[in-house]
Amino acid sequence: MNYDALIEYISSTPLIWLLVTMGSFKIGIIIYEKFNKHTLLQPIIISYILIMSILVLSGASYEEYFKGVEIIHFFLGPATVALALPLYNNLKHIKTLFLPIVITLIVAGVFSILIAVLFLWALDAQLPTILSMTTKSITAPIAVITSEQIGAIPSLAVGFVLIAGIIGALLGTAIFKIMRIKHDTSKGFALGVVSHGIGTARAIEISQKAGAFSALAMGLTGILTAVFLPLVIQFLR
């Protein structure tokens, strides 16, 4: 038996990293569902840890890993286009509260970026970190392609997106109680603007209406940020 040839094959085929990535994500889904879909046990967090351990143990570089799984990365493009459908399905809700939605979207969208940047700036963070923070409230696929566009670090950006989502989903209900928020539509909308998909999953648990408004807010915030953020950043440079 030719063990050398086998080892040579395993260490050079992209199949191994595809299997590791998809397998880890499947394990992530299984664990997530076993624990009643707890926010902290997002499938991606579990697969993050699994893949990270395997990467470190195998001694492979990130470049090697990325080359192997580039085909998965490619599908972020069509997945972003796919986000048009849930947005379309919830678009009818815009009419009922047109002005509140438009005003909140613009004012709160800008505010949530500014407040995050302000904290970083006050605590002496560097420019790449600040740029990577600007996309923290939009859905991850759009955050990845937008952060590439503005010269931020996509991996940091995704990390920030995930944590902003988890914090919103974990603390949202408590915050709404303290702030005495009356309407489910406001709760859902805020979760969508600030905590994208993970917030929307939480909003669906509040009520169907909150879920619809969250999905609506997530789609609109994603588009507006991707359109205007690169322009603003180019203007400031």
| 179 token code pair | 């702030």
Binding residue for another protein (CB under 8 A) from 1, 5, 57, 123? Answer: 123
The Cα–Cα gap between 210 and 95 comes to 16
Angle at 44 (CA atoms; ends 166, 23), nearest 5 degrees: 165
Site for another protein in 133-192 (CB under 8 A): 133, 136-137, 140-142, 144-146, 148-149, 153-156, 158-160, 162-164, 167-168, 171-172, 175-176, 178-179, 181-183, 185-187, 189-191
Site for another protein in 10-29 (CB under 8 A): 21-22, 25
Q: Applying CB under 8 A, does 212 fall inside the site for another protein?
A: no
Q: Applying CB under 8 A, does 194 fall inside the site for another protein?
A: yes
To another protein, the closest distance from the beta carbon of 3 in angstroms equals 29
Binding residue for another protein (CB under 8 A) from 193, 203, 212, 216? Answer: 193
Amino acid at 79: A
Binding residue for another protein (CB under 8 A) from 1, 2, 4, 126? Answer: 126
Residue with tokens 């648990």: 205
Q: Are 191 and 199 in contact (CB under 8 A)?
A: yes
Site for another protein in 215-234 (CB under 8 A): 222-223, 226-227, 230-231, 234
Work out the angle between the directed axes of helices 14-34 and 43-58 (0-180°, nearest 10).
140
Angle at 218 (CA atoms; ends 212, 219), nearest 5 degrees: 95
Q: Applying CB under 8 A, does 204 fall inside the site for another protein?
A: no
Which one of 2-10, 33-41, 44-52 is the stretch in contact with another protein (CB under 8 A)? 44-52
To another protein, the closest distance from the beta carbon of 11 in angstroms equals 18
Q: Applying CB under 8 A, does 88 fall inside the site for another protein?
A: yes
H helix intervals, 123-207? 127-133, 140-149, 154-178, 184-206
- Closest of 30, 45, 85 to residue 165, by C-alpha: 45
Q: Applying CB under 8 A, does 211 fall inside the site for another protein?
A: no
Q: Applying CB under 8 A, does 84 fall inside the site for another protein?
A: yes
Binding residue for another protein (CB under 8 A) from 47, 90, 200, 214? Answer: 47
Binding residue for another protein (CB under 8 A) from 31, 108, 151, 207? Answer: 108
Sign of the C-alpha dihedral computed for residues 127, 133, 135 and 141 taken in this order: positive
Q: How many residues bind another protein (CB under 8 A)?
A: 105
- Phi, psi at residue 213, to the nearest 5°? -70, -30
CA 231 and chain centroid, separation: 21
Cβ contacts of residue 22 below 8 Å, gap of 6+? 72
Binding residue for another protein (CB under 8 A) from 27, 41, 55, 204? Answer: 55
